[in-house]
Structure 1
Amino acid sequence: MFTSIFLILTVSSLHCCLAGAINRVKEIRCDCGIRNEGKRHLGIGDNVKTEFAGNHAWPWMTSIVNVSLPHDPVAYCGATLINNQYILTAGHCIPDMQTSGLGNFRVWIGTNFITDLASDFDDYLDLEISEIKSHPKFDFETAEYDVALIKVSEPIKFSKRVRPICLTQPEENTLVGKIGVITGWGSLTLTTPTEEELKESDVVIVTNEECKKNYTTVDIPVLDTMLCGSVMTLDGQDPCKGDSGGPLMLKVKNRITQIGIISHGQGCSSPAFPTIFSRMSKFIEWIQQNTQDALYCRGSF
């Protein structure tokens, strides 16, 4: 059983079929994966030097916010906007939300700040949750199929500050060694609160075989539905509690595409244990099948 989930309490018949799966989604004239200018900057998070994201740099970045305490919103899990009605997150974020009550959670899009004063910084979207679709094969013990869709209460109008990420998947054999970006409001350690400002960090994608080397010693499986990434430097920021559900992103043909969902690992910022992500390429058809009522930007897949 894994020990750390980053949560507060990651012209052939085959060609014919794949093309059919892609064509099932509805598309509109808009662009996915276009990030805004805004460079990351150094700051202090919980008395530790931290890299924060440029304001509005990642317009699909979403926070599932716990609003159960008046005037004290808390980043609970990360997510990404993928179309005009759904956000994508980790399956293990869902059970505690359902137990606590979905009314205690809101979806915030279009702001880098999770604070009661966020409206002083941004005109962001604050949306209710309408429906949750967890992958039917999700296994809490192994974190396999750790993916879920959340439908928001009203259709989203895209803008420069609120725009979906692309889900185009690169060839699997080209990923190892590539530098990806992760973002989230998670804490810096397992014992500290989540951050109020969006952080970002670089990770290098490693093979599952490399990833398994140390995880086998702690009885954590690394499966085909998973993808691994390691921080670039000794003081790099691995995902931690509250980062679950956020994206692992790559730039592909001048667009940003999501190749992973932050899932789990062994502690936080442990160089010997890469972060384990849900491998997006394994879930594209499931996402398409379960978002038939939504509108995607052209080229999302």
Structure 2
Amino acid sequence: MKSCIFLSLCCVLVISRWASSQEIEDCLTGKAHKGKCVSIANCPSLLRIAQSPVISESDKLKLREHVCGNRKVCCRSPLQVTTTSTTTESYSYDDVEESQPTNQPLLPKENDCGLDTASQRIIGGDITDKEQFRWTVALDYKHPRTGGVKCGGSLINTRYVLTAAHCVFRVQKQDLTLRLGEWDIEQNPDCEEEDEEDCNPEVRIVRVSQILIHPNYKDKTNDIALLRMEQALPDEYTSHILPICMPLSAELMQDAFTNRNVSVVGWGKNEKEIRSRFKMFAELITINNQRCEQALEKPLHDTQMCAQSFTETIRDTCGGDSGGPLQIQIKGTYYLIGIVSHGPPCGKTLLPAVYTRVTSFLDWILQNITD
């Protein structure tokens, strides 16, 4: 009997792309929170749970508590849902707990982010063009012996940089500066082949006003942090500074990004353990977590993802790339899908590296960025 009930509940969670043709009704969740009874396809927070490869007992209970009809769930902040009329209705609540917060407009629109101006595509882990991947940020630490650029980050709007928690754990904000629009960390401004006629504007060096580490960061899990800059950047970005796009659409939030061509960027060490003075990048391919667990011989959380070299050449992220972007290009636009977290020693193996899965933390990011 119990198995039949659970099977019924699972059927409710079949992913449907049908638009609702009925009037959208109010509902209450199992915790008596107000919501709208919609298709689970229109509720990103619950959809991510339903599509997880492994669903925990607590998540199963959560899904049951939100069932409100045939293939419908009680969603506290659904996506825009088209009704039978010509109008489109959107619902949001100030007390959001598991749904998208309302400050999504603080992130740039797709035509204002993720654009690559490089004149050519560089393959195989080499130096980027000086204006390529303009969202990559160098984290510069102040220490007489161990200072310098040790981690990377990604600019996501005019105020915030996203990085790995382990890069800023126990770091004081006054001991950290952000280098935006950086390419060659040994000169400023950046010029190609010492040609003073072909230089970027000066690197923008910015102080940090707040370091916000994920509250559940522990032992390489939830390895994500937000850095708020003391001063906001101008609304109009420059030729060498631009944010990367976040995967905010329903389609991207549902994407596991498995077996996809991606790239990583940073100033990490090369195979000879020498730190690069230039911004480098390497192309990788993502693999599913099960295959990654087998390769690394350790369990992974579903908030993590893996990528590895797809050639016989050893190309992967290295120490200085921690916190940097794992990015995917879709129709000419780059999206941030991962944050470099940890992996095997640089240049020593073809084993995959582990990344923080950005789509698992969109709610946390949106809940914590401010104007």
TM class by smaller structure: 0.7 to 0.9
SS at match of 2:166: helix
67, 79, 93: which is aligned to 2:167? 93
Q: Aligned equivalents of 1:53 and 1:224: distance in 2?
A: 31
Q: Give ranges in structure 1 of 5+ residues lacking alignment.
A: 1-10, 43-48, 294-301
Match of residue 243 from structure 2: 164
**1:180-219 to 2 correspondences below 5 Å:** 180-189=262-271, 192-216=273-297
Distance in 1 between residues matched to 2:347 and 2:320, nearest whole Å: 14
Tell whether the 8 Å contact from 1:182 to 1:248 is kept in structure 2 after alignment.
yes
SS for the counterpart of 1:281 is helix
* TM-superposed deviation, 1:276: 0.4
TM-aligned CA deviation for residue 81 of structure 1:
0.3
Matching of residue 136 in structure 1 with residue 235 in structure 2: no
Greater Cα radius of gyration, structure 1 or 2: 2
- For 1:209, the aligned partner's letter is Q
How much is the aligned-residue C-alpha RMSD, in angstroms?
2.5
**Greater displacement, 266-275 / 237-246:** 266-275
- Which amino acid letter does the alignment assign opposite residue 17 of structure 1? S
What is the match of residue 358 of structure 2?
280
Report the AA paired with residue 239 of structure 1.
T
1:258-296 CA-to-partner distances (Å, cap 9, x unmatched) read 100000012123545201000011000100000032xxx
- Residue identity in the other structure for 2:268: G
Change (3 A) 1:96 1:56: farther
Separation of aligned partners in 1, 2:190 and 2:121: 21
Of 265, 268, 274, the match for 2:346: 268
Q: Deviations over 1:197-234 (max 9, x none)?
A: 00000010101000001322xxx431111000011222
The aligned length equals: 266
State the Cα distance separating 1:23 from its structure 2 match.
3.3
Between the aligned partners of 1:56 and 1:221, the Cα distance in structure 2 is 38
Match for 2:131 among 53, 56, 61?
56
Question: Which is further off, 172-181 or 51-60?
Answer: 172-181
Question: C-alpha displacement at 1:18, in angstroms?
Answer: 4.7
The structure in which a higher percent of residues are strand is: 1
Residue 152 and residue 174 in structure 1: after superposition, are their counterparts in 2 closer, same or farther (change >3 A)?
Answer: closer
Secondary structure of 2:244's match? coil
Report the alpha carbon displacement of residue 103 of structure 1 after superposing the two structures with TM.
2.8
Q: Distance in 2 between matches of 1:38 and 1:237?
A: 23
CA distance in 2, matches of 1:270, 1:192: 10
In 2, the alpha carbon distance for the partners of 1:91 and 1:196 equals 24
Q: Does 1:35 align with 2:116?
A: yes
Structure 2 unaligned runs (5+)?
A: 1-23, 25-36, 44-74, 80-91, 93-99, 192-199
Give the Cα–Cα distance (whole angstroms) in 2 for the partners of residues 284 and 228 of structure 1: 18
Q: In the TM superposition, what is the alpha-carbon distance from 1:171 to its structure 2 partner?
A: 5.3
Q: If the length of structure 1 is used for normalisation, what is the TM-score?
A: 0.80
Higher relative contact order (CA 8 A, sep 6+): 1
User: Contact conserved, 2:314 with 2:350, CA < 8 A, in 1?
Assistant: no
SS state at 2:299 partner: coil
Q: Secondary structure at the match of 1:23?
A: coil
Deviates more, 1:12-21 or 1:123-132: 12-21
